[in-house]
Amino acid sequence: MGAIIIRADQKSSKLLKELAVQLGAVVTNVKNEHYEDFMLGTLMDSEKTGEIVSREEIFKKLKEK
């Protein structure tokens, strides 16, 4: 099972939702906050290096900025 996320204006979203339902798909509305959380998670996954970094090192880098 897969999923797609389409960002569109309200009118287009309604039309796309109706089409998806007619095609037998399950449609779930996603609030902007949840979409942003999803995109942040996707970005974090793409940047994973597999390295283990200490808490102290993270805070040191954060303080530099």
Predicted confidence at residue 43, as pLDDT, reads: 93
Residue 5 belongs to some domain of the structure: no
Q: What is the DSSP string of the chain?
A: ---------HHHHHHHHHHHHHTT-------HHHHHHHHHHHHHHHT-------HHHHHHHHHH-
Question: Average pLDDT, whole number, for the chain?
Answer: 90
Q: Distance between CA atoms of 24 and 50, rounded to whole angstroms? A: 40
Q: 18 is in which domain, residue-wise? A: 10-64
Residues 4-26 have pLDDT tens digits of 888 889 899 999 999 999 999 99
Counted domains in the chain: 1
Residue 29 belongs to some domain of the structure: yes
Q: Distance between CA atoms of 22 and 17, rounded to whole angstroms? A: 9
